[in-house]
Structure 1
Amino acid sequence: MNPLAGRRGKAYVLDCVGYLGIAAATVPFGLLARNAGWGQEPTLVFAMSAVPPVLATLLAARRESGPDAATWGKRRFGLRVSAADGAGVPFGRALLRNTLKIAIPWQLGHAVAVGAAFGGYADADPVTIAATALTYPVIGVMVAGVLIGRGRTVHDRIAGTVVEATAADVLETAR
């Protein structure tokens, strides 16, 4: 198992608590939209459900491309994101990394939920069935990428990034 896997998992859980806050903050808007009659069309519900993942993705990309090169969770657990050559990660690459890591899996889960809520399984809706078939393998590949080998996930490989221990943490571990 990759030596950083445990810390990366804990960092991700901590980050997800923040993302949950983003999702919770959108609940009043969702209730207003529903009361206005906007929740009758699955396409609109799916589009509205993209707001929290997009906000979380933008926030994570901003943090990872910033001076700390880390989300709150990564900072708390002594981790940072850098380019494969050790340089800082520009916002565009951090955005790509987090789109693959946060937005796509989260919205894939929303596709399953919205499809199920609007009868996608009963109607054998191909989008609902395909999203269901993809959701858990996508998550499994992401988790396996953290656990196995050097810990470079699919989103790290595509964005040309690596998650590593911070310099201070490496020095502390060496003592």
Structure 2
Amino acid sequence: MSTTASINGGTRAPGWQRVVAWLIDWVRILILPLLLVPVGVALYAAGLRLPVGLWNLITFLLLIVPVTLWCAWRESGRFQATPGKRARGLIVVDARSGRPIGFARALLRNALKIALPWELGHTVAYGFAAAGRNPSASLMVLTIVVYAIMIAWLVGLFLPSTRTPYDLLGGTRVVAHRE
């Protein structure tokens, strides 16, 4: 099936359009780490030493959760799209009806798309930082899992359906939409 075939709610969004939209969103999203990293560095320089797991939890709560919630808020209700998707003329719809999705569905979609791989990636990074030259077998397996998730998410964009695993699990579809 062609990636431009008409479906409920619009036409399938080409994978490259979704990648461009995500890059646009990341320019905005990176503002938060740019504000938080200097605070963390300053605290560390001032002598604050926390266990690796606590740093990971703080990062999750102050960085990953707000980004995930923001994207879910933007993709639900009247917006139906993050700013990057809007800039590319894309919206997120229910895969069956083509209607807007609610916040709960958008949150599930973005938890799978953003929070899961990002947090697993942080867990791997913190794990390697703590392990030094002796990473555990479980850390190596988790690293492989992170890469497998990221590859699956990316490959899904370029399959004929252009539906990623997080779209399939969330019951959503990203479509081209002209206002």
TM-score of the two chains, using structure 1 as the length reference: 0.87
Compute the displacement of 1:20 (Å).
Answer: 1.2
Partner residue, 1:124 = 136
Task: Report the CA distance between 1:81 and its aligned residue.
Answer: 0.3
Question: Is the 1:57–1:99 Cα contact (8 Å) retained in structure 2?
Answer: yes
Q: Structure 1 unaligned runs (5+)?
A: 169-175
Bigger mean CA deviation after superposition, 56-65 or 3-12 = 3-12
Aligned-residue identity in percent: 36
Partner residue of 1:114 out of 108, 126, 137: 126
Q: Distance in 2 between matches of 1:97 and 1:86?
A: 16
Over residues 34-80 of structure 1, what are the superposed CA-to-partner deviations in whole Å (9 max), with x where a residue is unaligned? 24544441111111221211111000000000312000100000100
- The match for 1:7 is 17
Amino acid corresponding to residue 107 of structure 2 in structure 1:
L
Q: Secondary structure at the match of 1:81?
A: strand
Moved more, 26-35 or 11-20: 26-35
Partner SS state of residue 30, structure 2: helix
Shift of 1:10: 0.3
Say which SS state the counterpart of residue 154 (structure 2) adopts: helix
Amino acid at match of 2:114: I
Separation (CA, whole Å) in 1 of partners of 2:118 and 2:28? 14
C-alpha distance in 2 between matches for 1:99 and 1:38: 30
* RMSD (Å) for aligned C-alpha atoms: 1.8
The answer to whether the 8 Å contact 2:113/2:166 transfers is yes
Instruction: Classify the secondary structure of the residue corresponding to 2:92.
Output: strand
Gapped regions of structure 2 (runs ≥ 5): 5-13
Aligned to 1:103: 115
- How big is each residue's C-alpha offset from its partner over 1:110-165, in whole Å with a ceiling of 9 and x where there is no partner? 11110111116514262x22321111110000011111021111111111111000
Distance 1:131 1:14 in 2: 29
Alignment correspondent of 2:58: 48
Match of 2:99, SS state, is coil
Structure with larger RCO (C-alpha < 8 A, sep 6+): 2
Q: CA deviation at 1:32?
A: 4.2
> Is 1:2–1:146's contact at 8 Å kept on the other side of the alignment?
no
Please list, as runs of the form range in 1=range in 2, the aligned pairs for 1:10-89 lying within 5 A after superposition: 10-35=20-45, 37-50=47-60, 51-84=62-95, 85-89=97-101
Task: Look up the equivalent residue of 1:144 and give its one-letter code.
Answer: V
- TM-score in terms of structure 2 length: 0.85
**Cross-structure match for 1:171:** none
